[in-house]
Amino acid sequence: MVAVVAEIRGANLAEEYPEGYKGYMTMTSTSAGTLPEWTSVLAVVAHPDDESFGLGAILDVFTRAGAGVEVLCLTHGEASTLHGTPGDLSSLRGAELAEAADLLGVSRATLKNHADGGLSDLPGAMLAAEVVAAARSCGADGLLVFDTAGVTGHCDHMAATAAGVLAAEMIHLPVLGWTLPQAVAARLNQELGASFIGHQDEEIDLRVTVDRARQRLASHAHVSQALPSSVLWRRLELLGDTESLRWLRQPIGATVTS
Binding flag, residue 116, Zn ion (CB under 5 A):
no
Binding flag, residue 130, Zn ion (CB under 5 A):
no
- Residue 46 CB, nearest approach to Zn ion (Å): 5
- The nearer residue to Zn ion, 38 or 216, going by C-beta atoms, is 216
Which of 26, 27, 47, 254 forms a contact with Zn ion (CB under 5 A)? 47
Binding flag, residue 222, Zn ion (CB under 5 A):
no
- The nearer residue to Zn ion, 47 or 207, going by C-beta atoms, is 47
Binding flag, residue 205, Zn ion (CB under 5 A):
no
Number of residues that bind Zn ion (CB under 5 A): 3
- Residue 167 CB, nearest approach to Zn ion (Å): 19
Q: Which among 31-39, 46-54, 99-107, 195-203 is the span making contact with Zn ion, rule CB under 5 A?
A: 46-54
Binding flag, residue 214, Zn ion (CB under 5 A):
no
- Residue 37 CB, nearest approach to Zn ion (Å): 28
- Residue 50 CB, nearest approach to Zn ion (Å): 4
Binding flag, residue 76, Zn ion (CB under 5 A):
no
Binding flag, residue 50, Zn ion (CB under 5 A):
yes
Binding flag, residue 96, Zn ion (CB under 5 A):
no
Binding flag, residue 60, Zn ion (CB under 5 A):
no
d(CA 51, CA 59): 8
Binding flag, residue 93, Zn ion (CB under 5 A):
no
SS (H, E, C) the chain: CHHHHHHHHHHHHHHHCCCCCHHHHHHHCCCCCCCCCCCEEEEEECCCCHHHHHCHHHHHHHHHCCCEEEEEEEECCCCCCCCCCCCCHHHHHHHHHHHHHHHHCCCEEEEEEECCCCHHHCCHHHHHHHHHHHHHHHCCCEEEEECCCCCCCCHHHHHHHHHHHHHHHHHCCCEEEEECEHHHHHHHHHHHCCCCCCECHHHCCEEEECCCHHHHHHHHHCCCCCCCCCHHHHHHHHHCCEEEEEEEECCCCCCCCC
Q: Which among 8-16, 41-49, 193-201, 214-222 is the span making contact with Zn ion, rule CB under 5 A?
A: 41-49
Query: What is the strand order of the sheet 40-45 is part of?
Result: 108-114, 68-75, 40-45, 142-146, 175-179, 242-249, 206-209
- The nearer residue to Zn ion, 26 or 161, going by C-beta atoms, is 161
**Which chain residues interact with Zn ion by CB under 5 A?**
46-47, 50
